[in-house]
Amino acid sequence: MAAITPASATEPPGLETQRREIENIVQNHELRAGDSWYLVERRWFEQWKEYVKTGDQNSSSFPGQIDNTELFEDLDSYHLKERLVENEDFVLIPAEAWRKLLAWYGLVDDQLALERKVVDLPSTVKVEVYPVEIFLCLHSNMDNVVTAQFSRVDTIQTIEKVMRKQFDVAESAETRLWMKSSDTSCERLRNIYVSVLDSCLSTGMTVIMEMRNADGTWPSSRPQIMRNSVEEQDSYRGQPGVCGLTNLGNTCFMNSALQCLSNTPPLTEYFLRNAYLEELNFTNPLGMKGEIAEAYADVIKQIWSGRHYSVVPRVFKTKVGHFASQFLGYQQHDSQELLSFLLDGLHEDLNRVKNKEYIELRDADGRPDQEVAEEAWRNHRRRNDSVIVDTFHGLFKSTLVCPECHKVSVTFDPFCYLSVPLPVSKERVMEVFFVSLNPGAEPVQLRVVVPKAGKVIDLCIALSQATDVPANQMVVADVFNHRFYKIYHADESLSCILDRDDIFVYELSSGAVEEDGEEVVLAVYLRERPHCRDYGSGGGYGTTLFGHPLLMAVPRDQCTRDALYILFLQRLARYVRPPETSEEVEEEEADDEDGEEEDEEEEELYRTQTNGVSNVTNTQTDDGDNDSEKAGPSKRASKEGEAPDGLTSSAGHVDRQNNGQSEPSEEDGGSDPERGSSSEEGQSAGSSSGGADTNTQSDLATAGASGKVEDQEEEDEDQEDNEGRGSESAMAYVSSGKRAAGSGRNGQSRKKRRPLFTIQAVNSNGTTERGMGEGGTAFSFSSQPYVAIDWDPDMKKRYYDENEAEKYEKHGSMEIPHQQTTVRLQECIELFTTVETLEEENPWYCPVCKKHQLATKKLDLWSLPEVLIIHLKRFSYTKYSREKLDTIVEFPLRELDFSGYLLRKTGVNGEPPSRYDLMAVSNHYGGLRDGHYTSYARNKDNGQWYYFDDSKVTYAREDQIVTNAAYVLFYQRQDKIRKPTLPAPTDGCAASVKPANDFTSSNHDGLAGAASCVNMETD
């Protein structure tokens, strides 16, 4: 308050009047928070009391002008002395009493009135004699520090206004304040409406103001790192909004949702004009203290600054994970789930309703729909009022009918997006390879139609109609990485089989059904051993799997090494050529005693560790005794985490392809499924033929992986000749080998016939070997047996025909193009509004029947928002199956008309309130377990469509947008659409910015164009 000179003092009333008025004011005035009181030096006040008590205006005790000189440390700064005591050094008088005294006596020249506020502290109400003294500075110039005093009841906004005035900061500049308590610790002052006391500001602290950069960033990315100058801005200038988002690790789902929201004009303009700053709700218990809204605003301002190629949304990701723990870490998530959380979080952070009142909902009870709807919307807005409600919220009409008493319950409920179902077919098309019992026949690739909720036996029945082979003589299996990943039971659900799995169906003879029957089903793997075999290893990890495994049934009385050798040669006759008599490899052995001892030792090692056949019942280990349906951890990890080597099913399953083929090498060695080992990548179904002499086993199912094979046919006569020749050669070969080995015992030297391959018992992974007995010793199996055929590289190269093994035949069903299911968006909306019966898990409580009922429910659209989000429910989860629907939904880019679905028929000035234009699409490529998210969006300024793939942005054409990857659609009502303010860019312009901004002008069509720059992410 300005000093009042003696000339300005008014004529005082009588002394008794003065005393009475001042005493009444002081005695009757209570302390109230926010009121102003004044400090008066005690000696002057006591002298005034003495003066008015005498009643003599000419008394020598006249106090003169109010003088507080004794209360100041110095008269230059008028800084109050420390440790002043009330009623000893000063007295406090209310503002009314001060004004009277000031008017009667005036104030000494140049002195300031010592006004102090009454503050409401946690335990008491008192006059704040010593206010908080704070240092103020700008982030861009930390050396220019100004000292200011503020009451504890002043708000942070008061400090902000003082700083704007002190440092000449424009009102339009966006600022934020930091509270610095020490040299290393800074904290954001987010809520500018709280008091200095509540924000924990105290004397000696520093308040720093920083202003947002032109590119949307803040000078201090972290409060702990305060720089003294703003770094030089990048010289890049681009189209605002055309900016990528860096993938932080499986965050494509977040980037896709953010790009769609960023290109929602009303929401983006709300943040760009800083309207959110006045509506931040820091006290909402359902909100995130304004942090989600601020983090989202930072991302939007950076994207639309036009100064970034790509933005790193790390702070936003951290905030989302902090308030929604399901998004912590770097796992893949659903873009629609993040979108739902983000819209709800923004709504609560920006809710204009500070204190939500309790509102009891009422049923319609026969009232008109218009009345009930208006009441429901009014009640909703009483508790929820934000830009999200203004932009995205509409109203449903929900009708429930009790099946017993026919009570009709009508309610109107708000919604933020429509989750519309896709028409689900009850059938599915499966591509399989059928392996005939005839070893000379090539596998046949077929396409069959089966029930979605069917069993494996249904697949066999459908295949039986195409092949004339009884369904009970078929076994279904999945082959991955040259192993049987799973052998299916006939009663297992087909939902266990994914479209990308490579499924083989083997024909077996009847007879192997009984567990203790005359035949046993063998699972046979093909392996290649390195040239230098380590006999001491015994673990089989020096081998490399190749080709496809076999499944064949053999008589139990032929489970000897020699007998199995003959049977395997017969089964492999189509692509394994037995050596001619002139080609037989012989090995000479010395007859001396040392040589005989070495031979016996080697034969013992060979028999027990390498390829002998023994009674497995007595030699099984934990590693080897695996059930046919159980896969080791390493195998399952490989199954779900990487593509099978060399398996490229003609169905084109993207996720499990490997395009390369490699020759056998020792570096490839090891059949560890984690490494996806295979020396012969790209082997076809042909190498997976079933056994020549096999029986059916109804509770077994086998699988083979389809391969990268050629469509080549052989004449039946050649197949029969080949089979017969192979059988005869095998018998002759084994017989001559026995004779040569036997005659060598008593002669000067011995000659052994070298076999094409050796036989070794293994586990289901094809790795851990189990010892087998001497040649000629029979063995039996107590569980599914796995056997490996081990090839020497030289023998494999000479006698194993890879080209022949890759051949397969295409059935006529494969020639018919696979029709992609297509539906219209309007069909999905109609399906959404059809009557349905509630499920048993979600019954409705009928107020008339007084019990829960499976009522019928119907949803109708009553009112639609300015921006309509439509979620296509592509991920289907039921009690029996889980799948992703790749149905193409044909959605219009313009003129999506809801007039036929809206119950409320309104129109203002002829404007179409129910017609919408598309403005963004969130896409999902992949399946249930993995995939990649991208987005299409239309820029609000130039009207151009862009394709956003994480940090990469490309131009897009309208004919590319409708694909089977579309997941979430964003529509804007036509009466709210603004015309673009800038011309659309040309292809020439796109080419000119490509080197700097990684832009490309799209010359591709449809999904192919989108997928050309899609990098698949997996969990």
Residues marked as catalytic:
252, 932
**Distances in Å between the alpha carbon of 552 and those of 160, 481, 683, 802?**
83, 19, 19, 20
Closest by CA to 115, choosing from 227, 35, 47, is 35
Scan for tokens 């190498």, then name that residue: 687
The Cα 9–Cα 18 span in angstroms is: 14
Residue 215's SS3 state is coil
The Cα 671–Cα 482 span in angstroms is: 9
| The one-letter amino acid at 38 | Y
Contacts of 189 (CB under 8 A, 6+ apart): 156, 176, 177, 178, 179, 199, 207
Buried b (16+ CB within 10 A) or exposed e, 963-979: bbbbbbbbbbbbebeee
Structure tokens at 550: 């076999």
Q: Is 874 within 8 Å of 828 (Cβ atoms)? A: no
The Cα 941–Cα 238 span in angstroms is: 12
Structure tokens at 930: 């993995």
Say how many CA atoms lie within 13 Å of 25 toward its Cβ.
17
**Distances in Å between the alpha carbon of 802 and those of 580, 677, 703?**
19, 18, 20
The Cα 763–Cα 622 span in angstroms is: 9
Contacts of 733 (CB under 8 A, 6+ apart): 578, 579, 584, 753
Contacts of 286 (CB under 8 A, 6+ apart): 348
Rounded to 10°, the helix 252-262/314-323 angle is 100
Contacts of 104 (CB under 8 A, 6+ apart): 9, 10, 12, 13, 18
The Cα 267–Cα 867 span in angstroms is: 10
Structure tokens at 860: 């109708």
Say how many CA atoms lie within 13 Å of 655 toward its Cβ.
23
The Cα 962–Cα 820 span in angstroms is: 13
